[in-house]
Each structure stands twice: as structure tokens, then as C-alpha cells.
Structure 1
Amino acid sequence: MVMGNSGNLDAAIEKLLNEEKHGRLAGDVAVTRKAVTDILRLCLEARDWKTLNDQIVLLSKRRGQLKQAVTVMVQQAMQYIDETPDIETRIELIKTLNSVSAGKIYVEIERARLVKKLAKIKEEQGLIAEAADLMQEIAVETFGAMAKTEKIAFILEQVRLCLDRQDYVRAQILSRKISTRVFDADASKEKKKPKEGDSVVEEAPADIPSLPELKRMYYELMIRYYSHKNDYLEICRCYKAIYEIPSVKENPAEWIPILRKICWHLVLAPHDPMQSSLLNSTLEDKNLSEIPNFKLLLKQLVTMEVIQWTSLWDAYKNEFENEKNLGKSLGEKAAEDLKERIIEHNIIVVSKYYARITLKRLAELLCLSVQEAEKHLSDMVVSKALVAKIDRPTGIVCFQTAKDSNDILNSWAANLEKLLDLVEKSCHQIHKETMIHKAALKA
């Protein structure tokens, strides 16, 4: 019975191959496409997967094969992938379609989707490195006909696999292919109808997320990347971008944990103009009143007063530990970095109030030993966060910048100019009062 079915299948295929040949040589697209699709359908109905693979290769290699026939063949065979009986058959069919579509620009989108399917199978098998290598072969940013959301989703998948295999350099390179401006683009302003000569953009498949969802996925992947480098300021900016997504802002259950993360990473970030700007803009956020503890924490950082580390840690230790329960923890080094930031803040405060101070007194204000205070001060000077000089024999720290002779002369000249202006104005006022007094006497 099986032999009979096999014989019937071969005879039917042979007949259709003749039809395909006549249609192909005559340049008849409709006949060729119908013959090709019928051959694939017969193979599927007979559940003869080996013949299906063989016919796909054979049809694609026929001399002068029409592009439309290859396209419809690949698209139809892709629908059969989910009907395969086992994983080996599925992989074999995908690999066959991959080899057929390789190097053909008119089926580049189909090839990208096939590679994505194969990479997913490899990942499920635990072969993450193989899956990442497969995905990196495809450069979807050059595909003019692929939908924007599908391109972004594909690149994000490439980034995710690179992060999973801890290839952070390649993950960064791939992430730069996505411009963050694309997430803020107004969909209503985009051109609806392509002009003549433009390539027609295909609709994205139903399983591709929307642009706001892709934005969140992108920034969550970037948080993973920056967490590896402990770049707190960039992590904070990523959380800020997620916080600005409309669907997140409308739901307090979503934005409160994100706002907490923004506050923590702002506190953990080293002091610089960007950090200061973000700190002030976050303090102006009305939603911060919902988490008063964090509002108080940020206010302490912008207030030019020395913060006692022990009292601060006692007040916020539980909140710090709670971050693990609310999702991702802040990292292993976060507690040490927090103490470092508080010391840096205190040194900046001291530098605002003192022109010169002894190292011993500075250490007392920072609640540190003299050696520790000197080390932290030196680190800040090296990183150019502060200008200071230490006279070690006398144990005095000078926060004033050294002026050269030209600067001193310029400041003297400016002071003299101000003094002469003041004398001139005073003389004018005295003269005016005298004239008014004389006029009054004459009257």
C-alpha cells in the first residue's frame, strides 16, 4: 500500500513538473506558481518530508526559474514547518529553505524569519552560542521591504542572544543599529502610500510586538548591558526612558518600582553635570511624593550639607534590601558604591565652605581615618571632580585653584576699575546734593 502511494505521488509530481516546465519556459507566472504549490501540497498530504525537501531544492535549481515561483514556494513551505512530526524533520526543512533562499534578495525577509526559527530551536536545545552565531549572519537593517517593528525585534533578539552568551562587545555594536529616536516617532506622520519606484514594505507578522513594547524590551536589554559595566548613570537613563512610556506612566503598580530604581541609580551614579541635571529634574517630578523616603534621599544629595553615613544607612538599609524583592537587585557592589558616593558628596560640601582645612578635621567631618580621607580626596582630584592640593608635611588641604601672575594682575586691575567707578559715582552724588542744597538756600 505504501509503495502504491509512493508510486502515485511520484507520477503526480512528474506530471506537475512537466506543467511547471512548460509554464517556466513560456514565462507564464500563474501556471508555474500553481504547479510549484501543487507539488509541495502533494508532498505534505503524503507526509513525505524527504521528497518535499528534494523537490524544493530541485525546483529552485531549474534553469531560468522564475523569481515569483521561488518566492511562493519558500512562503508555502514555511507554513509547513509547524506541521513537521519531530524536531529533526523541522530542522532539516528549515535548513533546506535556508539554502534555497541564500543570496536571493527577493526572499531575504523569508530567510531572516527562517534563521530566527532555527535560532530559537538551537536556544531551546541549550546551544546559545550556535543560536547567536546564526542570528548574526543576517543584517536586517539593509532590508528595505521589512517592516520597521520586525527589524527592531530581530536586532533585539540578536542583542539578547549576545548578552546570554556574555559577548558584551558585540551586543553593544548590534544595539547601536537601533536609533532611539525611532521609538518616539509619530506613526500618524509616517507616509502611508509609497511613491512610484519605492519598495513596498511588508506588514509585520502578528507575533511582532508594538513599538512601545519594543522600546521597553530595548531599554531592558540595555540595562542588562550597563549592569555588567556598573554604569549607574546609563542604567538610570534607561529606567527613565521606560518610565516615560505612556502605558507605564498610567499604571502606578508599574511606575513606582521603576521610579525607585531611578532614584537609587541616581544616588549611586558618580557626581557629574549629567547626574546633577537628572537629579534636579527627578526632584521636580510630582509622582515622587508617592515615595517620600526617596524624595528625602534625593533632597539630601542636592542640599549642601554633610550627610552622616551611619544614620543614612540605618534609615535606608531596609529599602535597599527590598529592591531584591521588587525585581532586579542593585548589584553586589552597590552598598560599597553608595558609601563612596556619600563620601564624595561630603567632600564637595566641605570644599564649598572651606578654602583651607586640615586633613585631621576633614577626616572628622567625613567620619573616616586620615588615610581614608586622603585616598578619597586624591581619587576625586584624579577624576577631575574637584580641584584640591594637599600639603602633607603640614597636613593642610587647599581647595583654592592656584592663580598665575596674569590672573592676579587681571583681578587687581578689575578691582581698581571697580574702586574708581565707585569713587566717581560717590563724587557725582555729593556734587548733586550740594547743588540741590544751594538752590534751596537761594529760594
Structure 2
Amino acid sequence: MEFVPLLPSKEEKLEYIEALRVVTAGRIHVELESARLTRILSTIREEEGKVAEAADILQEIQVETYGSMDKKEKLDFLLEQVRLCMDKGDFIRAAIINRKISTKAFDGVEFQDEKIRYYNQVVRYRLHEKDYLGVSKCYHAILHTPSVEAVEEKWIEALKYCVLFLALSSFGEESSDFIHRLLTTEKRLEELTSFRLLLKELSSSELVDWMGTEGKVTDMMALLPLFKQGLESYVSVLKTRILEHNIRVFSECYKALSLQRMAGLLGVDAQVGQALSDFCHCMVALHAYSY
């Protein structure tokens, strides 16, 4: 294998790799070398822009069954398989491979880089599925990684993402419990006043003023790279979450309320048609959570 980079042309490298892969195929005593050759071939195909082919090549290796491969390298192979599957657009396959990785594997200090890489890839998958609570949990795990905790800039970013995606999450017992735990146990939130206030508002039994919140939250999101693409859609989702929160407050305080009055309290368009649209959307979501 050490001779592969020394070969003068890519054609010779490919010929050499293919010949060795044929020779090592099915031979347990050289499975590690075979896997590494396959990794090199996959990298070459990706550099050529053939991402789908690179993903298919790397998936030929079932590294979880390789006893001769150490834990760190095995994690690296699996994470690379997941990444290539998502680059290919095959998120279902990526999820299947991702399940082969146990989070207990990241307990050691030496696996911090792999842990961060793993959760960043899960974030990518959860965003594809629009599972914002799952994204928030991933950033919470990243937040409690020693290498992240040691750098203020890193833990602040992770905590901001954790809070904002939690705010974007659908209302439910799990998300409510997570908000409560963050507010009571995450002391570093004291340094992020605006983010702490957002969670407190969403966990309170008082109305949240969307008109006053929109500008602040938009500015908070705009400063984070992950929100820059699709910022308006994220703000729209948060608006819906706040409307849902306010309607839950209404349900506890009012037996009857005119649509015009509700539109004013919700801070939505005063026109009955628009208010009705927003109201019905929230009521459907609220009804679903009651089961």
C-alpha cells in the first residue's frame, strides 16, 4: 500500500489498486489492507466528481466485522460511509449505516474529533428530516465535549444552536422537558441572555409578543452559519411555534374569544382570512399533540 502514492500516474495507481483488491478479496488475514485500498479507490473516484460511485465502492466494506481494524479507524470508515451516502443523496442508507455506530464509542477522550464529526453528520440528517428536536440534542452532545467546552467560541456556538433548534421544535412532553432541563442545569445560559429569555418565554404560561420577538430572533439566527441559507423559513417555523404557544395559553385563560381579538393578541395579520389561516394551522398542530 505504501507504494500507491509513489506511482507516477493515476492510471497506474488504479490498475495497481484493482489488482491488489482482486488478490486480497475474501482473505481475512489481509482484510485491513484490502479495506484501505478500497478507501483510496473511493477517494480517487470522489476527486473525479463521481460521488455516487465513491459511495458505492466504500459501502462494499463491512468494517464493523473486521477484527484486525482498531476502533478509531473503524469509526473513521463508518463516518466516511455515512458522509458519502448523504453527499450522494441516499439519506436512508446513511441512516442505516449510522445505526452501526454506538455513541458509547465516544466515551474516551481520544475520540472527541470522531464524536463531533458524528453529531455534525447526524445534524445534517436531522435537518433533512426537519427533526429540529433531534438537531438540538446533537448540539447538546457536542456542547458537552471536552474539546468544545475548552474553547469559548465553540461552546457558545453549540449552545446557541441547541437553544434555537429547541425553540423550533414541535411542542411535546420531550421538548418541554428538554427546555426545563436546559434552564435549570445549563449555567452557561446566563451568559446568553437573549437565548435564555427565549426559552423562558416558551416555557411560561404567558403570551409571547411575536412582533417584538421576530426582529431579535432573526438577528440571532442571522449570525449563525447554519441559518443563513433558508433564514426566512426558519423564522416562519418559529412564528408558528410561538402562535401554538399562545393558543395553548388562550385555551387555559379563555372559554370564548373573537377571531379579531385573537388575531390582535397573536400579532398576526388583522384580516380575518389571514388570522383564520394561522389559527387553523396552529389548532391542527395542537390537536395532534393532545393524543
TM-score computed with the length of structure 1 as normaliser: 0.61
Structure 2 distance, partners of 1:132, 1:343, is: 43
Tell me the equivalent position of 1:371. Answer: 276
Percent identity of equivalent pairs:
38
Does 2:187 correspond to 1:286? Answer: yes
**Using a 3 Å threshold, how does the CA distance of structure 1 residues 364 and 229 change in structure 2: closer, same or farther?**
same
The question of whether the paired residues in 2 share the 8 Å contact of 1:380 and 1:386 is answered with no
1:166-193 CA distance string (max 9 Å, x none): 1111010110010112212x58xxxxxx
1:116-265 residue pairs with structure 2 within 5 A? Answer: 116-184=39-107, 210-265=110-165
The question of whether the paired residues in 1 share the 8 Å contact of 2:82 and 2:97 is answered with yes
Tell me the equivalent position of 1:380. Answer: 285
Deviation, 1:359, is: 4.3
Amino acid at match of 2:46: E
Tell me the equivalent position of 1:98. Answer: 21
The question of whether the paired residues in 1 share the 8 Å contact of 2:82 and 2:98 is answered with yes
The question of whether the paired residues in 1 share the 8 Å contact of 2:214 and 2:235 is answered with no
Structure 2 distance, partners of 1:267, 1:120, is: 39
- Aligned counterpart in structure 1 of residue 208 of structure 2, from 307, 326, 342: 307
Structure 2 distance, partners of 1:135, 1:146, is: 15
Structure 1 distance, partners of 2:67, 2:77, is: 14
Deviation, 1:303, is: 1.5
Amino acid at match of 2:9: D
The question of whether the paired residues in 2 share the 8 Å contact of 1:359 and 1:373 is answered with no
Tell me the equivalent position of 1:318. Answer: 219
More contact order relative to length (CA 8 Å, sep ≥ 6): 2
Amino acid at match of 1:358: L
Amino acid at match of 1:380: A
1:77-125 CA distance string (max 9 Å, x none): x111111111111111111110000111111111111100110111111
The question of whether the paired residues in 1 share the 8 Å contact of 2:143 and 2:158 is answered with yes
Structure 2 distance, partners of 1:164, 1:139, is: 20
The question of whether the paired residues in 2 share the 8 Å contact of 1:263 and 1:294 is answered with yes
Deviation, 1:330, is: 6.7
Give the match's secondary structure for 1:357: coil
Does 2:263 correspond to 1:358? Answer: no
Superposed CA RMSD? 1.8
Q: Which runs of 5+ in 2 are unaligned?
A: none
Q: Which runs of 5+ in 1 are unaligned?
A: 1-77, 188-209, 388-443
Give the match's secondary structure for 1:79: coil
